Structure 1
Amino acid sequence: MATFVLIPGMCHGGWSFEPLTDLLRLHGHRVYPLTLTGVGERSHLLGAGVNLDTHIQDVVALLAAENIEDAVLVGHSYGGMVITGAADRAPERAGSLVYLDAVVPRHGDSCWTLVSDQERAWYLDVAETGYAVRPLPFFDARATPHPLASLLQAIRLTGDLSRPRRRTYVYAAGWADQSPFTPVYQRLRDDPEWTTHALDSGHNLMRDAPDDLLKILLKAL
């Protein structure tokens, strides 16, 4: 039995991993689909101080509270920032990292610096509070504004991210227009330290290709 910790992208909660969560549990694995502070059912915690460090701590605290070791950390989109930081802060608890059409930061990167101008324009569409980005119109009805500070804050990495024994990248090749994650995939597919996959799917891989994702996640164990 393995333990999967699933981290959603911007504006989404742990529910965005349905039905993948159910499929993993049917195979006998422990699964923790996590909603980050200030988003989804935790939107009441949204404030100007909620940033990337807050979200990384969400994961680190879960790993400690549930006494999880050798976790498979799975991050979708923005969630790539979070699982990278969590693996750096709690390397003894992170066994594998799986990035689902996600950013893969190095020390000093932020989500803002890693995406295209199109995504930056979206980030500037803030809600009335001034510190949260509005969901895009086609998002799930449950989506809520996302903390802007988490997108602007640079990640601080202090350790060796080669410690997790497996690193996997899943690229969504079915974007209707240019994907901001194409350069990431092109960089990693020739790196022998990474396993890469390309799926004929839109950005929401969990909704559009759960069966293919299941096979990839089981290989990441």
Structure 2
Amino acid sequence: MVGTPIAMGKPYRPKDHYFQKAKQEGLRARSAFKVDEILKRFPIVRKGTTVLDLGAAPGGFLQILADSVGPSGRVVGVDIVAIRPFTQKHVTTAVLDVLAEDFDAKLRALHDGPYDAVISDMAPKTSGIKATDEARSLRLAGKAMEVAVSRGRPGSSFVAKLFMGGDFEEFRGQVRAHYEDVKVVRPEATRGASMEVYLVGLRLKAAAP
């Protein structure tokens, strides 16, 4: 995860129910339950598919995705901080800055083919200034969508975390321009004080000739 989650009014409780459940189940982060719920609600990942996880540290999403695609699939996870290595051979991780000029080239060096799903859990370092944090969140989500549209195969899926407010509706419209269906999801594991939601783009439209 890039940065830290935003808090709106309620005290931060690092060891809540989902934290304890993640620890019991050997998951690296409570956020694993968020992507698990999304995958159960929408058939965006299956055995043998190739998935990109942006903002993947510490690896909670990667654990769920690795199990979902199985050894016949592939998962690529990147973040601005190092991710503890995985033993599964079908999981590749790297330290990359999505906003760096050479990001696209370095990502292609990790996997040159198309993706069946691009999933972003990136979040900015929060400033406490609502408009600023929303703008930074949208910038990361926008980059994730750019990658999903350029590297996703027709019919692929896109998932991105972002903060509600600001230009959210405009961004949802941009996602709708590329995907046949768009859903807004607030997973049960989301902290009560958080303004974050996930936009889910289903079935990437084929590029115009």
Q: Which one has the bigger strand percentage?
A: 2
With normalisation by structure 2, the TM-score equals 0.42
